[in-house]
Amino acid sequence: MADLTRIAQIMAEAVNGPGRPSLPERLCAACVDALSVEAASITLMADTGHRAGVWAGDGRARHLEERQFSLGEGPGVDAFRSRRPVAVADLLARAEVRWPVLVTDLASTAVVDHRGLRSVYASPLHLGSSGIGVLSLYRATPGLPAAGEVADIQVAATSVTLAIVGSFMTPSGEVPVQPWLDDPPLNGVEVDQAVGMIMVQLGAPAEEVLDRLRAHAFAHDREVDEVAHDVVERRLRFTEEDR
């Protein structure tokens, strides 16, 4: 168990750091510095399913978060929906039955894409009943965090939540502009635009369209963001045959 004062200090330094890298990326780096983890990511989402973006200080963690969104399942997805932490001792364990598609996908791409990250602790970010996203913490070795480590993670997750929410408020109560939301490393805005366009093309509801978008990305071994970009740029159109 780490010194809780030290964790709070590291997180505070991240909040007060320079503008680049962005606040979420600084918070991810602070989590790696403060906790016994190798990588961290922050995914911001709304209860409606809109994803504002994914930030990470490590390409491996970013890949793992993107695969979860693309496939519609995983520890981060479950943590956000349930408002409860989700711990996974080994992402590559064949005995892991909660997310069979994700586990199979990661096992086939493990060496190339996430290079050995094996365990994850996904902590929901929320204020009361309002969810804003998920903090995912990864280790290269299989195993679950000890009770003391979970307490440390909760302090870090609370710090991340307050930092993100606080960044949108000024002493006067006005909402300041957040440039890092305009161009996150993985932009959920284009996915939303693509969903809207496909809804018109297929005359289908948003939930079904997102499932179709994910299925197309999975079938063609691509990320959802890539497929969405092609839809927005009108290089790809969905037809009734895709339903």
Asked, for residue 48, whether it belongs to a domain, the answer is: yes
Structure confidence at residue 189 (pLDDT): 67
Structure confidence at residue 63 (pLDDT): 84
Asked, for residue 177, whether it belongs to a domain, the answer is: no
Question: CB under 8 Å to 187, separation ≥6 — which residues?
Answer: 53, 225
* 155, 205: one domain: no
Structure confidence at residue 111 (pLDDT): 43
Asked, for residue 201, whether it belongs to a domain, the answer is: yes
Asked, for residue 222, whether it belongs to a domain, the answer is: yes
* 96, 192: one domain: no
* 144, 26: one domain: yes
Q: Based on the structure, what is the number of domains in the chain?
A: 2
* 152, 201: one domain: no
* 99, 200: one domain: no
CATH assignment at residue 216: 1.10.10
CATH assignment at residue 49: 3.30.450.40
* 27, 118: one domain: yes
Domain final position from 166, 193, 222: 166
* 8, 112: one domain: yes
Query: Domain range holding 198?
Result: 185-235
How far apart, in whole angstroms, are the C-alpha atoms of residue 141 and residue 215? 31
Structure confidence at residue 87 (pLDDT): 96
How far apart, in whole angstroms, are the C-alpha atoms of residue 102 and residue 57? 22
* 145, 99: one domain: yes
Asked, for residue 98, whether it belongs to a domain, the answer is: yes
Asked, for residue 171, whether it belongs to a domain, the answer is: no
pLDDT digits (tens, 9 = 90+) for 95-106: 778 988 888 877
pLDDT digits (tens, 9 = 90+) for 50-71: 677 888 888 889 888 888 887 8
Asked, for residue 176, whether it belongs to a domain, the answer is: no
* 227, 154: one domain: no
Asked, for residue 175, whether it belongs to a domain, the answer is: no
How far apart, in whole angstroms, are the C-alpha atoms of residue 164 and residue 161? 5
Point out the residues of the chain with pLDDT beneath 50.
110-112
Q: Which residues of 152-187 are buried (b: 16+ CB within 10 A; e: fewer)?
A: bbebbbbbbbebbeebeeeeeeeeeeeebbeebbbb
